[in-house]
């Protein structure tokens, strides 16, 4: 059930949402140091004349993030309403950015507000007075055109259904970075990792729980891919509007109820049936993927060849060495924010780096790695749980990140922290981009991960014992 209530958090989230939709300034978005225990590098340049001439994007309040309570019987209708809101924003962005598709800012934004208002009225009626939404939801219907939010990664230069621009020649990036401030012809969204100052700090482990537990779940060799999200948009086909890579549970999609997940096989060698998934990474080398004309792929402007990970690490531990307790089966945890470009960086918890340089982490830029070095994505998940709910209405408030001293917020308990480390062999001099919602412009700050715990009790107890007793297992 998703009826967990947190009044203080509800007020803060709603205030941030309302502030976000009116923040139509000319400053560039700066990624915060959201990666736990680290200070990712951030871009600090204002928009260039070329960037200023670009379309920008459409920014709307993230209504799902404001929800504090949803009656269980209303959940399917609410999930569909939230999915409809996402489609409306994508359609408006598409209309504004594609010539001949019915542009005209005032008309497009007016139509968007009208559609959102109707959907919000339905959603408010379903969720009731304790939903966390204001009694008058009309203020959430209005969206803004954010011209300060532009595409740094240059992924949008590629046509949405398999068309291409010429990629940089092999090796060109490394020849040019020295004279270009650490950047290359790949675009302003890329930076040579060798020019980044080391910015990570190993957390001080003051407690005895220094062990780790690892699930070896492969690299998605069976190519389990779909644009669903069983946590955020259950029962909604193409609810993510971008393609996900999956390891672990073999049947994970939008329609995977707990019983279906529990009965499924797994790619994990230790029997871990959990579902682990994240947006795919694509290389923009002019090659068309099989989904070039499909939802989640080209139809949602996610184009290019999907890269299979070269390495996938699934590791649990305790960042501060404090003892942990078992998490419950079917607990859902998300990290990062798929809408961080327009929402802001408060929930951005992903970082980017290169093998051999992982003391340097980037939040809002893609790394250019030297020859022989792999691109690395790192996703750290919340390590505190309220001890009761397997999910919450906004999919966040039932979990939390531990504080600087490793302690959990009041009434939360410490659980094993999941860290996903995903590495790729990216061709030198070729642009790449993470899949995103259409209006999020493939910005690396939108990277995120999802996890549904389907471990049995024996495996959960083994995990906790290994971590608390300082052993390495798996």
CA distance 439 to 97: 10
pLDDT tens digit at each of 474 positions of the chain: 444 444 444 444 444 444 444 333 322 222 323 323 344 544 333 333 233 334 689 999 999 999 999 999 999 999 999 999 999 999 999 998 877 655 588 999 999 999 999 999 999 999 988 899 998 999 999 999 998 887 544 444 444 433 333 333 334 334 334 334 444 567 778 999 999 999 998 777 778 999 999 999 999 999 999 999 999 999 999 999 999 999 999 999 999 999 999 999 999 999 999 999 999 999 999 999 999 999 999 999 999 999 999 999 999 999 889 999 999 999 999 999 999 999 999 999 999 999 999 999 999 999 999 999 999 999 999 999 999 999 999 999 999 999 988 899 999 999 999 999 999 999 988 999 999 999 999 999 999 999 999 999 999 999 999 999 999 998
CA distance 458 to 89: 45
CA distance 190 to 197: 15
Report H helices in 134-221: 172-176
What is the phi/psi pair of residue 243, to 5°? -80, 140
CA distance 456 to 468: 19
Secondary structure (DSSP) of 137-150: GGGGT--EEETT--
| Interhelix angle 105-127/75-97, nearest 10 degrees | 170
Token pair 């007075």 is found at 129
Cα distances (Å, whole numbers) of residue 90 to 55, 202, 271, 355, 390 = 14, 40, 39, 35, 30
Kindly give the pairing relationship between strand 275-279 and strand 448-452: antiparallel
Is residue 83 within 8 Å of 300, Cβ to Cβ?
A: no
Token pair 């290389």 is found at 283
Kindly give the pairing relationship between strand 305-307 and strand 311-317: unpaired
Dmax (CA) for the chain in angstroms is 64
Question: What was the pLDDT predicted at 103?
Answer: 59
CA distance 401 to 409: 8
Question: What was the pLDDT predicted at 48?
Answer: 32
Question: What was the pLDDT predicted at 6?
Answer: 42
> How many other CB atoms are there within 10 angstroms of residue 403's CB atom?
11
| Closest of 417, 321, 433 to residue 375, by C-alpha | 433
CA contacts within 13 A on the Cβ side of 204: 5
The helix, strand and coil proportions of the chain, stated in percent and rounded to the nearest 5, come to: 25, 20, 55
SS3 of residue 91 by DSSP: helix
């Amino acid at each position: 059930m998703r009826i967990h209530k947190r009044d203080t958090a509800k007020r803060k989230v709603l205030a941030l949402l309302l502030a976000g939709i009116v923040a139509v300034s000319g400053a560039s978005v700066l990624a915060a140091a959201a990666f736990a225990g680290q200070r990712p590098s951030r871009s600090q340049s204002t928009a260039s004349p070329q960037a200023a001439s670009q379309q920008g994007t459409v920014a709307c309040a993230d209504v799902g993030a404001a929800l504090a309570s949803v009656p269980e019987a209303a959940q399917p209708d609410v999930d569909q309403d939230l999915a409809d809101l996402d489609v409306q924003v994508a359609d408006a962005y598409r209309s504004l950015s594609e010539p001949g598709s019915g542009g005209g800012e005032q008309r497009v934004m007016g139509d968007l507000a009208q559609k959102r208002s109707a959907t919000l009225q339905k959603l408010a009626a379903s969720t009731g007075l304790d939903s966390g939404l204001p009694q008058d939801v009309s203020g959430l219907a209005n969206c803004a055109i954010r011209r300060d939010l532009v595409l740094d990664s240059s992924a949008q230069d590629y046509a949405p259904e398999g068309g291409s621009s010429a990629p940089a020649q092999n090796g060109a990036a490394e020849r040019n970075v020295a004279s270009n401030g650490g950047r290359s012809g790949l675009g302003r969204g890329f930076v040579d990792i060798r020019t980044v100052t080391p910015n990570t700090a190993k957390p001080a482990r003051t407690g005895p729980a220094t062990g780790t537990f690892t699930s070896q779940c492969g690299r998605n060799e069976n190519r389990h891919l779909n644009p669903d999200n069983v946590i955020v948009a259950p029962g909604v086909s193409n609810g993510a509007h971008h393609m996900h890579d999956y390891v672990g549970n073999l049947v994970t999609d939008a329609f995977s109820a707990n019983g279906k997940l529990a009965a499924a096989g797994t790619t994990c060698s230790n029997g871990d049936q959990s579902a682990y998934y994240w947006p795919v990474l694509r290389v923009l080398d002019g090659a068309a993927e099989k989904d070039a004309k499909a939802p989640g792929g080209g139809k949602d402007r996610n184009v290019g060849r999907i890269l299979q990970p070269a390495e996938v690490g699934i590791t649990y531990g305790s960042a501060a060495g404090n003892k942990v307790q078992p998490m419950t089966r079917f607990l859902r945890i998300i990290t990062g924010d798929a809408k961080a470009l327009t929402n802001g960086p408060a929930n951005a918890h992903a970082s980017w780096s290169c093998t051999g340089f992982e003391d340097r982490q980037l939040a809002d830029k893609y790394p250019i790695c030297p020859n022989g070095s792999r691109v690395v994505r790192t996703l750290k998940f919340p390590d505190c749980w309220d001890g009761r709910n397997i999910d919450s209405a906004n999919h966040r408030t039932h979990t939390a990140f531990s504080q600087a001293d490793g302690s959990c917020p009041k009434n939360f308990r410490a659980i094993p922290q999941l860290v996903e480390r995903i590495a790729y062999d990216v061709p030198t001099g070729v642009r790449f981009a993470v899949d995103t919602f259409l209006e999020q412009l493939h910005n690396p700050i939108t990277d995120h991960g999802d996890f549904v715990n389907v471990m049995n009790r024996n495996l959960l107890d083994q995990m906790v014992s290994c971590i608390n007793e300082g052993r390495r297992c798996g």
